[in-house]
Amino acid sequence: MAERKAHIFNIQKYNMYDGPGVRTLVFFKGCPLRCLWCSNPEGQLRQPQVLLKQDRCIDCGDCVPVCPVGIHRLLPGSKKHEINQKIECIGCGKCEAACKQGALAITGGLQTISQLLEVIEEDRPFYEMSGGGVTLGGGEVLMQPKAAASLLMSCKQRGINTAIETCGYARPEVIKSVAEFTDLFLFDIKHMNSERHRELTGVRNELILSNVQWLLENRFNVRIRVPVLRGVNDGETELAQLIDFLRPYLGLKNFKGVDILPYHKMGVNKYRQLGWDYPIEGPVELNTADLERIESYFKLNNFPVSVIQH
């Protein structure tokens, strides 16, 4: 039987933000949401994609003849290099190898569970020293539930702590299929108003809220993560709605508190490299006073809370 594989677009070592201790973060490709502030747009689609660093491209055309599906071309007249993102990349990497300027990169590809475990095991001493482990993120890991469950189960069999970073938009049976192998869910709640949630992410939030309730009520460890943007979900009304929703779980040992994730612009350049327009308009960054206000609001309501700044 062929070994199970996962669509992966990055593996980040020595991560200190996504779960306890030193962690290896495995990024699964594909996501059902289209958050306006997405910092990993290269993780939205399942298939491989071509990233172009315009400042390095000299329009030499070396990538054009080697691409078997015709993604690259030089425009007639100007001879400027263009990538047709409507053509699906097969991830062969030939264009990346042909580019002497380092202007091209292929993001995403299939890896076996064994290959992922080999990378994860490299840092076992750091996990044991710090109480760390592996975190599966994305994109959205729950879009590949069988591969996720296989990797999580293998990690648990090896005594490695496991966590999932998730938007929570998945069928209940998917959540249940990975829960028994997951030591901690880092669970995003982006907005409590379902219609506003749809405007911001492309989907409504009823399924998400139902899933997080099931996890909390069934004693699985959950830490809530709140991506916060000025004028979007940082107001007292939005924060009060979230606190009211979470208050019934405040006394549970498996409710591990709240992380505030302030908006940042780390994804902006990736949009350019993909040839996509960046969807956020206007100043949505939070200053120190904003973050202190939000943090204090949770503390006044007796919630364990941290501000996570990358």
Q: How far apart are CA 166 and CA 130, in angstroms?
A: 23
What pLDDT, on the 0 to 100 scale, is given for residue 152? 98
Query: How much is the pTM?
Result: 0.95
pLDDT along the chain (310 residues), means of 10: 91 96 98 96 96 96 97 93 93 96 96 98 97 97 98 98 98 97 98 97 98 98 97 95 98 97 93 94 92 96 93
Closest Cα partner for 49 from 281, 276, 291? 276
What pLDDT, on the 0 to 100 scale, is given for residue 5? 97
The conformational region for residue 77 under phi > 0 = left, psi -120 to 50 = alpha, else beta, is: left
What pLDDT, on the 0 to 100 scale, is given for residue 309? 84
What pLDDT, on the 0 to 100 scale, is given for residue 60? 95
What pLDDT, on the 0 to 100 scale, is given for residue 281? 82
Which pLDDT tens digit goes with each residue over 257-294?
Answer: 999 999 998 899 999 999 999 999 889 999 999 999 99
The conformational region for residue 186 under phi > 0 = left, psi -120 to 50 = alpha, else beta, is: beta
What pLDDT, on the 0 to 100 scale, is given for residue 2? 76
Compute the radius of gyration of the chain from its Cα atoms.
21
* Sign of the Cα pseudo-torsion (238, 240, 241, 243, in order): positive
What pLDDT, on the 0 to 100 scale, is given for residue 77? 87
- Contacts of residue 297, Cβ cutoff 8 Å, sequence gap at least 6: 236, 239, 243
Which pLDDT tens digit goes with each residue over 68-91?
Answer: 999 999 999 889 999 998 899 999
Domains of the chain as residue ranges with CATH: 5-45+109-307 (3.20.20.70)
